[in-house]
Amino acid sequence: MSQCQLCGADAAENTSLQPSGEAALCVVCAAGVAGEAVDGPHWQCLHEAVWSADPLVQGMAWRVLHGLGAPWANDVIDMCDPEQSVQDWALAEGLAALVHRDSNGAVLANGDTVTLIKDLPVKGAGFTAKRGTAVRGISLVQDNAGHIEGRVEGQRIVILTEFVKKS
């Protein structure tokens, strides 16, 4: 056993990574790299890991951050800019695992119906989407797990997933 290359935990085992590579990862980090990450305090380690000099560690952190889709994770993604080869490796399998979740953690899919949990002012449209409004037939934004699209009062708008619950 060795230390996890992402979080530094002591209970790490070698994990085979796709499309190529091998890394020492704890159970939680291995699940995150495989696309099974759920936002939580464990992932604060990614603030440092994404700046690693090791391209493999940087790529794993980038992959997990994309899978989380949490606002803080998107902020970290916006701040760092790994080399294109690292981004390509990290997202080769990572974007396929992009998961959109509502405010309660339920997985969202194209065509679902969601309910707004907060009044949302709609920029540029001059109205407020009221709490309790049902948004039918949503579309997932493919490159951002924190955004969905739907029609409210006849307008197609982008809605943050943290302000909806699956119906």
For the beta carbon of residue 81, count every other beta carbon within 10 angstroms: 9
pLDDT in tens, 40-88: 888 888 889 888 888 888 888 888 887 777 788 888 888 887 888 887 7
Highest mean pLDDT among 39-53, 91-105, 147-161: 147-161
- Residue 160 counted as domain residue: yes
Q: Do residues 71 and 119 both lie within one domain?
A: no
> Rounded distance, CA 49 to CA 24, Å?
13
User: Is residue 94's pLDDT more than 50?
Assistant: no
> Rounded distance, CA 109 to CA 105, Å?
13
Assigned token pair, 32: 């995150």
Among positive and negative, which fits the CA dihedral 78, 82, 85, 91? negative
Q: Do residues 157 and 86 both lie within one domain?
A: no
- Residue 106 counted as domain residue: no
- Residue 128 counted as domain residue: yes
The predicted pLDDT at position 42 comes to 87
Mean pLDDT (the chain) is 83
pLDDT in tens, 121-142: 998 888 999 999 999 999 988 7
The predicted pLDDT at position 98 comes to 64
Q: Do residues 69 and 24 both lie within one domain?
A: yes
The residue-averaged pLDDT of 22-36 equals 78
Comparison of pLDDT for 11 and 75, the residue scoring more: 75
Question: Which 8-state DSSP code applies to residue 141?
Answer: -
Name residues whose C-beta falls within 8 Å of residue 132's C-beta, 6 or more positions apart in sequence. 115, 116
Instruction: Residue 165: name the closest of 119, 127, 108 by CA.
Output: 108
Domain containing 152: what range? 114-166
The predicted pLDDT at position 83 comes to 85
- Residue 81 counted as domain residue: yes
Contact 17, 60 (CB under 8 A): yes
Assigned token pair, 153: 């009062």
Q: Do residues 69 and 28 both lie within one domain?
A: yes
Q: Do residues 90 and 141 both lie within one domain?
A: no
Q: Do residues 93 and 122 both lie within one domain?
A: no
